[in-house]
Amino acid sequence: MSGMQLIDPSAIMWSAPEADRAGRPLIVLLHGYGSNEGDLFGLAPYLPLDAVIASLRAPRAAGPGFAWYDLDPELNASRIDGGDSAARGILHWLDTQNPSSVGVIGFSQGGAMAVHLMRHAPERFAWAVSLAGFVLDGDAPADARLAARRPPVFWGRGTADEVIPPRFVEHAQRWLPKHVELTERIYEGLGHAVSESELNDVLAFLRQQSDAGAGHATGGAGGTGDARD
């Protein structure tokens, strides 16, 4: 399908059998570059019990695993076309689901994709969590709608992360507050990883969204990676 990187439904790790998924909140996990669908699935036992967890495999082969889009030699921020193609593929897969709401958690490149999905269809996502992630440079189709809607986004990062370039972090610091209701957490001494303290903060963020009734966005029919973005 032109301009779309399709999700392989046979490579998705689920927390519930198909018969038990419809009408429940859905949490989508997006792994980092060079990793796979098994990586972030370890978070599943800590996530809300009422939610169904789906950990997706990215569509492009990358090293020992997979990626949402290709890296370029200069590691610059011009990945918007690849991000758009991957986002369209994830949204196409969501068209086959019937959740009561959709939230998304991503690590590194998957964290960038968690935000990028909202930049394509902000109405379809109740919230997003970006762990050691960033924001793709350039314009996306629904940036204006996202800024008007301002859904809640958690962005956590470590001060010792040597993988995500400082300019990516600086861009996200400028961009996110203008487009989403941002919860930003910075962890002293943390590298390109997720700490127990960060996980606790993420769970508190998810409880806050549940308490606020933020789980009413319909996604309807609408992964930690390695040490790179």
Per-residue model confidence (pLDDT) at position 71: 82
Residue 136 lies in a domain: yes
Residue 115 lies in a domain: yes
CATH number of the domain bearing residue 68: 3.40.50.1820
- Domain range enclosing 195: 9-216
**3: confidence class by pLDDT, cuts 50, 70, 90:** confident
Query: What pLDDT digit, counting tens, does each position of 96-127 carry?
Result: 999 999 999 999 999 999 999 999 999 999 99
Q: How many CB atoms lie within 10 A of CB 159?
A: 10
Residue 221 lies in a domain: no
Least confident range from 77-86, 132-141, 177-186, 190-199: namely: 77-86
Per-residue model confidence (pLDDT) at position 95: 97
Mean residue pLDDT of the chain comes to 90
3-state class percentages of the chain: helix first, strand second, coil last, to nearest 5? 35, 20, 45
**2: confidence class by pLDDT, cuts 50, 70, 90:** very low
Residue 1 lies in a domain: no
**213: confidence class by pLDDT, cuts 50, 70, 90:** low
Query: What pLDDT digit, counting tens, does each position of 131-140 carry?
Result: 999 999 999 9
Residue 101 lies in a domain: yes
| Chain-centroid distance, C-alpha 139 | 18
Whether the pTM exceeds 0.75: the reply is: yes
How many domains does the chain fold into? 1
The stretch 43-58 carries a mean pLDDT of 95
**81: confidence class by pLDDT, cuts 50, 70, 90:** confident
What are 50's two structure tokens? Answer: 């009422």
SS3 of residue 20 by DSSP: helix
Residue 202 lies in a domain: yes
Per-residue model confidence (pLDDT) at position 212: 75
Residue 226 lies in a domain: no
**74: confidence class by pLDDT, cuts 50, 70, 90:** low
Residue 110 lies in a domain: yes
Residue among 111, 74, 101 nearest 198 (CA): 111
Per-residue model confidence (pLDDT) at position 217: 45
CA dihedral of 219, 220, 222, 228, whole degrees rounded to 10: 50
The stretch 157-176 carries a mean pLDDT of 96
